[in-house]
Structure 1
Amino acid sequence: MLKQHLQFKLAQKLSPQQIQLMKLIQLPTQAFEQRLKQELEENPALESGKESLEMEDEYSDSLDGDMDSETIDTEDINIDDYLSDDEIPDYRTQTSNYSPDEDEKSIPYAAGVSFNQYLMNQLNTIYLNDEEWAIAEFLVGSVDESGYIRRTIPDIMDDLAFTQNVYVDEEAIEHVLKVVQELDPPGVAARSLDECLIIQLKRKPPTPSIELALEILDKSFEHFTKKHYSRLLQKHGIEEEELKEAISEIEKLNPKPGGSYSGGNKIIEHIVPDFSIKIVDGELELNLNARNAPDLHVSKEYNNMLEGYKKSKERTKAQKDAVLFIKQKLDAAKWFIDAIRQRQQTLYVTMKAIMDYQREYFLTGDERKLKPMILKDIADTIQMDVSTVSRVANSKYVDTPYGTKLIKEYFSESMKNVEGEDVSTREIKTILENVIGEEDKKKPLTDDKLARILKEKGYPIARRTVAKYREQLGIPVARLRKQI
């Protein structure tokens, strides 16, 4: 049975302006510049460049006067006196937007061809009949960014028949594949890692070490990948020094030949630090990247429109609609300017709290000085929400005397040492990395042994925790760290 009833409920909701402000805070410098450019293009009432502070006061006075959108009078303004018929904004026609001493803000990119096109250009220099050319073209198109063909010959044969109307047997495809594998970089178009390495070795002048390396890859690839050196010595009847030389030849090879191609088909990623920390006279100095603090002001032309409206006497609905549009744009411009200022303040205050919290580290660069720090520590310090601190930390970089790093890297959990003191997990990872770096590579330390060593150093952590930290550091298990 359906019933109607009233229910009262209290709820908190973010306004659209608050949501946009959170998004602005989250943006790193380069993305922020794009957002700023977009706003300048979409809102003609917003302008960049230095302007008198009286402009904002004039705008506020205009809004506080007779411009209430609910009680607006439909006075007749001659909008043509204020608006140009030219649809091209003034800023698009200006070529001297910056002074000669300003830094160039655009980053040029070199043009280039794709990796597959690079292979096709080489293929054009080889004589092939029509059928072979169709196969070769299809094989080159199947090469991925790493330089491999991840398809089986039967699959390629079926695709050639269905998509290219080329009916050939596996032998014909194998023949053309050998031709494609002669292209540069060496190892390209291989179907597996061992085939890729073998192709590269065959390009080198034959020596005893290379011959042995080829034999190991061809007949004992699994033992090689698992570093079962004793089995390799026994199976191939060789001395330890011979095995070491063969492995040395294999280690010089490139497991991803496509990665060596330096064409211009990929966008180069540039990191622009949002902050910089310097040591001046023994004290830390924090600066916000100037590109995060643009000069913005409300358009004087649009303010003049409001003044013209107040002085006009004739009234029409069309002019009222036009003035409401102008007021809307002015409101949006004023809010955006305030949001940018609030963004600058939030970024600076958050980073300043992080810098003060980790003062010892930023003065020395010693990662052992990094204190345990979680988002809530900084949020409590600056009296802001944890989500705000997270938005700043997850996407911003800081330039320090010890390199440019992502801010979130300075956050870490804590654990107690044998003396009951809180230490950063980052400190434990640094010690773990140093212990592994100093181990005997012929007998690498297992996770159990690493846990015992850390416990002796005053860090009682379990073996599974050691394994987790080791994986986070990108260090393989003991078996794969073994060297002959």
Structure 2
Amino acid sequence: MPQRLIQEQTQKLAQQQRLTQQQMLFVKMVEMPLNELEESVLTELDDNPALEVGDKEPIDDTPSSEGDPAADTEEAFMEKTEREEREEALDSALEGLGSDDELPPVSSGHQMQDNADYEEIVYGDTTSFYDKLKEQMGMEDLTETQRDIMEYLIGSLDDDGILRKSLDAITDELAIYHSIDVPEQEIERLLKVLQGFDPAGIGARSLQECLLLQIARKPEGRLKELMREVIDNHYDAFLKKHWDKIQSEMNLTDLQKETLRNEILKLNPKPGASLGETEGRNLQQITPDFIVETDEDENSISFSLNHGNIPELTVSPSFTDMVHTYRNNKQGMNRQEKEALLYAKEKVDKAQGFIDAIKQRRHTLYLTMKAIIEYQRTFFLDGDEADLKPMILKDIADKTGLDISTVSRVANAKYAQTKWGTFPLKFFFSDGYVAADGEEASTRKLRLTLKEIVEKEDKGRPLSDDALAEMMKDKGFPIARRTIAKYRQQLGIPVARLRRV
């Protein structure tokens, strides 16, 4: 008996989070460095006649604002001709609003298209490294606990997209700090899921694994097999660029060797760079977003936000008065007057939203920098890089109550000017490592110690990785030879054979 197909209609209730236009504006602003924000303010002043420069000095709305180095640019902005131009812009806009037979502009298809373009630009410009991976995580069928673990794994990736921590260490951290007690095998299973995200190679635990993950996504064929064999079985020769040795051991022709070499060189050793948070931006002169002052005698630290050339912004009285006037006379309004009201209200709302977003950005930057200084107080007082404590995005998120993705955006492309130099905010973040004495230290301190040992070695008889491991152990860092090799590569230090003078 043939089966009958039955079509049923069912209802499903689902929660879907969508950012409002105001939230997207804030997201965009909080990621901007100061020089980009200055350009954005000037553009908005030109585009929106309802947004004006105020008569007073810029109001510093954060507790850290004393001594702000903002430049004095109010005179240039507040000349009489500026106000006259805005009055003319208002009159011109109202006069060109069309006849009674035309539809109000706010409901036009053109404006809806503009809004769609705006949202696309916002998402394209502001999605961070963390968010892009989190978006892909949202497409996986995970329990709440699995999502927490996955977020922790994503937050533990370095800027290259590599997981430098061991799964054993992550298991301990989840149990101690987050009360998530799961076997290491479960974390490894979730890591495999993460390694399936784009771009290929993300979540690898070593350069070798990173390359193998990328090769695994290549089309099946002889070339893919040979690429895998090089990285699997001839990795040391590959690192040393001994392609003649690889050719001999794999019985390759000259053409095969060159083809294979060129294909492997196309692989990306830093997949995280392709998810870079400054994607698409031009290189700009570094302008510090924070000015940090230290007083060693009083053992005190203070800081201020650099507002640069951003003036106090206000909503145009001409526009707000017009909105009030029309609202009080709704009954006697014709079509053109209604259009004028809608136009004025739209510009006023947009101007106020822009001002609110700038204030919210300042407050968010203040909270983040305050937490960073509290965490890294010793470094700000003495300037010794070895005194930087282990600190990840989640530490600052927990301390401030902000979302991890917000902290990530604040840390992106922002700089702090200190007594010891100007540093990117990312400089203050690093993973932790438990030394021999049981005290947690920054992996940066470990790398500095390794670099110092290599700098002091006898260049006629450079130390092998095994010898370096022994010396690191003597200094309180009992780490394996393969870990020495990993940090040596990160520091750009060649193998002992190539260091010999």
TM-score (norm 2): 0.52
- Pick aligned residue for 1:271 from 275, 286, 292: 286
Per the TM alignment, residue 365 of structure 1 is displaced from its structure 2 partner at its CA by 0.7
Q: Would the aligned equivalents of 2:390 and 2:443 in 1 still touch at CA under 8 Å?
A: yes
Query: Larger deviation: 308-317 or 473-482?
Result: 308-317
Matched-pair contact (CA < 8 Å) for 2:30–2:410? yes
Give the deviation of 1:344 after TM superposition: 0.1
Partner SS state of residue 459, structure 2: coil
Q: RMSD of the alignment, in Å?
A: 2.7
From 319, 324, 334, give the equivalent of 1:302.
319
Whether the 8 Å CA contact 2:416–2:424 is kept in 1: the answer is yes
Q: 2:319 & 2:360 partners in 1: Cα distance?
A: 24
Residue identity opposite 2:373 in structure 1: M
Cα contact 2:430–2:444 (8 A) shared by 1: yes
What is aligned with 1:371? 389
Q: Is the 8 A contact 1:50 1:296 kept in 2?
A: no
What amino acid is aligned across from residue 367 of structure 2 in structure 1?
V
**1:1-22: CA deviations, max 9, x gaps?**
4321111123333222212211
Residue 26 of structure 2 is aligned with which of 17, 21, 24? 21
Contact 1:82 1:301 survives alignment (8 Å): no
> Partner of 1:290: helix, strand, or coil?
coil
Note if 1:42 corresponds to 2:34: no
Deviation, structure 1 residue 308: 3.3
Alpha-carbon spacing, 1:10–1:478, altered in 2? closer, same or farther (3 Å): same
1:447 & 1:353 partners in 2: Cα distance? 38
Deviation at 1:304, TM superposition (A): 2.3
Q: Secondary structure at the match of 2:339?
A: helix
Secondary structure at the aligned position of 2:412 is classed as helix
Post-superposition Cα deviations, 1:52-96, rounded to whole Å, max 9, x if no partner, equal: 99xxxxxxxxxxxxxxxxxxxxxxxxxx99943499xxxxxxxxx
Counterpart check, 1:444 vs 2:449 = no
Equivalent residue runs for 1:331-370 within 5 Å:
331-370=349-388
Q: Which deviates more from structure 2 when the two are superposed, residues 29-38 or residues 342-351?
A: 29-38
Percent identity at matched positions? 46
**Alignment partner of 1:469 is 2:457:** no
User: Does residue 425 of structure 1 match 2:430?
Assistant: no
Q: Deviations over 1:212-234 (max 9, x none)?
A: xxxxxxxxxxxxxx9xxxxxxxx
The correspondence for 1:414, drawn from 432, 435, 440, is 432
CA contact (8 A) 1:292 1:344 kept: no
State which of 55, 80, 84 in structure 1 corresponds to 2:91. 84
For the 8 Å contact 2:49–2:89, the answer to whether it is kept is no
CA distance in 2, matches of 1:379, 1:432: 31
**Residues 57 and 312, structure 2, Cα contact 8 Å, conserved in 1:** no
Mean Cα displacement is larger for which, 41-50 or 327-336? Answer: 41-50
**Per-residue CA shift, 1:422-457, capped at 9, x if unaligned?**
111011111111111111111222222111111111
Q: What SS does the aligned partner of 1:31 have?
A: helix
**In structure 2, the residue corresponding to 1:464 is in which secondary structure?**
helix
**Residue 8 of structure 1: which of 13, 24, 35 is its match?**
13
1:51·1:297 contact (CA, 8 Å) conserved in 2? no
Higher mean C-alpha deviation, range 311-320 or range 443-452: 311-320
Decide whether the 8 Å contact of 1:275 with 1:397 is kept in 2: yes
Q: How many angstroms apart in 1 are the aligned matches of 2:429 and 2:380?
A: 14
Say whether the 8 Å CA contact 2:469–2:478 is kept in structure 1. yes
SS at match of 1:342: helix
- Within a 5 Å distance, the mapping from 1:314-325 to structure 2 comes to 314-325=332-343
Query: 2:415 aligns to what?
Result: 397
Gaps of 5+ in 2: 59-86, 95-239, 241-281
Displacement of 1:43: 1.3
SS at match of 2:323: helix
Q: CA deviation at 1:37?
A: 1.7
- What is the one-letter code of the residue matched to 2:55? K
Aligned pairs for 1:228-239 within 5 A: none
Separation in 1, partners of 2:283, 2:57: 39
> Using a 3 Å threshold, how does the CA distance of structure 1 residues 81 and 357 change in structure 2: closer, same or farther?
closer
CA distance in 1, matches of 2:474, 2:411: 34
State the structure with more CA Rg: 1
Deviations, residues 271-309 of structure 1 (Å, cap 9, x unaligned): 101111111343111111122864110011212212432
Give the C-alpha shift of residue 329 in structure 1. Answer: 0.8
Q: Give secondary structure in 2 for the equivalent of 1:276.
A: strand
One-letter amino acid matched to 1:356: E
Change (3 A) 1:385 1:35: same
Q: How does 1:249-268 map to 2 (within 5 A)?
A: none
State the distance in 2 between where 1:9 and 1:480 align. Answer: 60
Q: Distance in 2 between matches of 1:311 and 1:335?
A: 24
Matched, 1:31 2:36: yes
Which segments of 5 or more consecutive residues in structure 1 lack a partner in the other structure? 54-79, 88-225, 227-266
How many angstroms apart in 2 are the aligned matches of 1:397 and 1:268?
Answer: 14
* CA contact 2:34–2:307 (8 Å) conserved in 1: no
What TM-score, normalized by structure 1, do the two folds share?
A: 0.54
Specify the code of the residue in structure 2 equivalent to 1:295.
Answer: E
Q: 1:50 to 1:332 in 2, by over 3 A?
A: same
Q: Return the alpha-carbon distance in structure 1 between the equivalents of residues 10 and 438 of structure 2.
A: 59
Task: State the alpha-carbon separation in 2 of the partners of residues 44 and 20 from structure 1.
Answer: 19
